[in-house]
Amino acid sequence: MAYFKVAFGFLVTAFLSAAVSLAHPGLGFGWGGVGAPGGQSGAPSYGLFPQFYQFSCHQAEDIVMSVLEKAIAKEPRMAASLLRLHFHDCFVQGCDASILLDNSATIVSEKNSLPNRNSVRGFEVIDEIKARLEEACPQTVSCADILAMAARGSTVLSGGPSWELPLGRRDSKTASLSTSNNNIPPPNSTLQNLITLFQRQGLDEVDLVALSGQPIVPRGHTIGVARCATFKQRLYNQNGNNLPDQTLERTYYSGLKSVCPKSGGDNNISPLDFGSPVKFDNLYFKLILWGKGLLNSDEVLLTGNVGNTMELVKAYAKDENLFFKQFAKSMIKMGNISPLTGFNGEVRKNCRLVN
């Protein structure tokens, strides 16, 4: 009889262990690393895979999409904002939802960094997604994975590509204001500066140009808008000589001046892609070729004379399918930047607060 109790106990333990490993892969199996050596994780992270919530919260992606559909139908620009949140999160401490943390006794929020202040948005949409997921699957789906799913869903709902999304990220217990200030490229970046900042994250110049097709200031602009403050220098004092950037097409330049005066108006907005500002397409790259890239960090992809960025801009302008395929690959790669997995980090109950 004792033998059968032991055997039964072993089987129950084995079953529970298998269930846990399926619901939370990486726990206790030597997975759950934090990206590639030195934190440069363009390489795959083996704690992440698309079926992560198959058993623990199979409805997770449906819940995310249902909230996104309503939010983007109400305000199409929200798609751009959510994509940008994912980018600004991953480039700081890795894709760990640190950008969502509010100020507290132990946290200095990244929301107050120069690239984010009065600029990043979409937090209320993430809050709604998290609340719905907590009702369905309490403390199971991480805020970091919500950001990744929202970025993909926003792309799809704007007419862009989809991709198989690795999941299993956990949430940080820290934020870094200084890293947010230093790692997110400013809108007046030189091409070499952009390449260096992307390489710091394990991303190459192909990723740089492809990810410029997402609506993240200063990078990427197939959908979305930019504040006057981010492009004013190009209109009035590009090279410190009180003259405009000579690469701007003249009619386009005149239109921008009407939106963005020399004095004041810093929060006035202009479409990053005036032809289709809420549609995900390759017109952004065509605009660069026509001298109608809005930000300096757009224009230097064509004129920066470093690497192969000019050829990539021309290729994506010519072939939208090529751009879509590379954008999806580069989004997966960016989403693998230094994730917390296994026993690292936590799954927050509220995305704005550490548990």
Residues 215 and 186: their CA atoms lie apart, in Å, by: 14
Q: Phi and psi of 108, rounded to 5°?
A: -100, 110
Q: Is 110 annotated as a binding residue?
A: yes
Q: Is 206 annotated as a binding residue?
A: no
Q: Is 92 annotated as a binding residue?
A: yes
Cβ 167 vs Cβ 50: under 8 Å: yes
Q: Is 58 annotated as a binding residue?
A: no
Which of 212, 225, 226, 223 lies closest to 323 in space, CA to CA? 212
Residues 238 and 216: their CA atoms lie apart, in Å, by: 22
Q: Is 273 annotated as a binding residue?
A: yes
DSSP string, 86-131: HHHHHHHHSSSSGGGPPP-SS---GGGSTTTTTT---HHHHHHHHH
Whether 88 sits among the annotated catalytic residues: the reply is yes
Position 319, amino acid: D
Q: Is 222 annotated as a binding residue?
A: yes
**Per annotation, catalytic residue among 24, 58, 86, 88:** 88
Which helix H or strand E contains 323, and what residues bound it? Answer: helix 320-335
Q: Is 207 annotated as a binding residue?
A: no
Sign of the four-CA dihedral 197, 203, 209, 214: negative
Q: Is 281 annotated as a binding residue?
A: yes
DSSP code, position 170: B
CA neighbours closer than 13 Å in the CB half-sphere of residue 68? 24
Q: Token pair for residue 45?
A: 């992270």
Q: Is 67 annotated as a binding residue?
A: no
Please report how the helices 143-157 and 123-136 are oriented relative to each other, as an axis angle in degrees rounded to 10.
Answer: 110
According to DSSP, the residues that pair with 226 across neighbouring strands are 270
Cβ 169 vs Cβ 148: under 8 Å: yes
Residues 6+ apart with CB under 8 A from 261: 228
Which of 209, 208, 213, 234 lies closest to 224 in space, CA to CA? 213
Q: Hey, which bits of the chain come out as E strands? A: 225-227, 269-271
Q: Which residues are annotated as a binding site for substrate?
A: 185
What are the binding residues? 89, 92, 94, 96, 98, 110, 185, 221-222, 273, 281
Cite the annotated binding site for heme b by residue number.
Answer: 221
Binding residue ranges for Ca(2+): 89, 92, 94, 96, 98, 110, 222, 273, 281
Catalytically active residues are 88
